[in-house]
Amino acid sequence: MSILIKKPGILTTVQDGGRFGYRELGVNPSGPMDGFAARIANLLLGNANNSAVIKPLFPAVEIEFLSDTQFAICGAEFGACLDGKQIRNWTSHNAVEGQTLSFHRPERGSRGYVAIVGGIGSERWLDSSSSTQVAAGERFAIGRSLVQLNELSLSPWMLPRYGRFPTVRVTRGPEFELLDEAAVNHFLSENYTISNGSNRMGARLEGSPISCEGIGEMPSSAVTFGTIQLLPSGMPVVLMADHQTTGGYPRIATVAVVDLPLLGQLSAGDGVSFKLIEMSEAMELLQQREKDIEQLKCGVSIFGRTVNAK
């Protein structure tokens, strides 16, 4: 029961839910840039939330299935094809031995996710396989599938509103209070561009600088995925999945968890603007999303498996 990497694509990695419990050693949790897409890909197959998935960028990986199995693709639209025939995104699919999954056009977003039933058996370090890079010719063990699955798609109303210029909701960061009113208004009205220096560690933003007179550095303290730091240059940087664990720049805001996938799908040259919300609203949004996901899980367990599969 395995898959073969026919072409590695660019910077293709394995990601799972992340590596927790080691921040005190300076080890960040890593994990998917778009945790929602990775999670949905798993849930459409009835996998555990945090099973390992393959994350293609574009030009993307090419995968041959060496046994009959099921897989799901979510996240960026890369023109996915199974043996050359176009297949739907945000959907689970059946594959038979010898079929090849490939991606042909970057249409929307920058990070796709491929989940396979039972998860991808990959090398683990500190209880996680996150950010293991894949190579051509490599084989990964996959779970055993006993039954054929019904092919399921995510309900359209649950699809994230990916765009190249999203407005992302943020809550106040620990040092928000250091900003004066003008600086806050500036931050919330600027249309920022994602700069070339952006990567899995952080999205560096370009725009007109925020005046940070009187805002110095502070003793290093914790940061997390979504923390927005204000650099001495007056430019914000949004810390992403492979962020460092601590930092000394003012943490002016934090991206709401439900909007992190919008940022995770951006590439250099795309844009972003920010809208301030209260923490209580961010909590409600998160709670609602979890309810939706619970419903989805329920639906998959009812409709996902065909009785008397061949």
CB of 172 to another protein, least distance (A): 8
CA 168, CA 274: separation in Å to the nearest integer? 5
Q: Is 222 in the site for another protein (CB under 8 A)?
A: yes
The dihedrals phi and psi of 64, each to the nearest 5 degrees, come to -105, 135
Q: Which is nearer to another protein, 6 or 124 (by Cβ)? A: 124
The interface region with another protein, picked from 90-98, 203-211, 248-256, 268-276 by CB under 8 A, is 248-256
Residue 292: its H or E element:
helix 279-303
Q: How many residues bind another protein (CB under 8 A)?
A: 38
Residue 254 as a binder of another protein (CB under 8 A): the answer is yes
Nearest distance, CB of residue 252 and another protein, angstroms? 12
226 binds another protein (CB under 8 A): yes
Nearer to another protein, 88 or 291 (CB): 291
The residues, any chain, with a CB within 8 Å of residue 266's CB and separated by 6 or more, are: 110, 164, 166, 194, 203, 272
Torsion sign across C-alpha atoms 37, 39, 41, 44: negative
- What is the C-alpha separation between 205 and 211, in angstroms, rounded? 15
CA 243, CA 224: separation in Å to the nearest integer? Answer: 7
Count the neighbouring beta carbons within 10 Å of the beta carbon of residue 249. 21
- Residues 176-215, mask of contacts with another protein (x by CB under 8 A): ----------------------------------------
Number of Cβ atoms within 10 Å of the Cβ of 176: 20
Among 156, 219, 302, 308, binds another protein (CB under 8 A): 219
Q: Which of 157, 181, 280, 302 binds another protein (CB under 8 A)?
A: 280
Q: Where are the alpha helices (DSSP H) in the chain?
A: 35-43, 181-189, 260-264, 279-303
Among 189, 196, 233, 287, binds another protein (CB under 8 A): 287
- Binding residues for another protein, per CB under 8 A? 20-27, 125, 171-174, 218-227, 244-247, 251, 254, 256-257, 279-280, 282-283, 286-287, 290
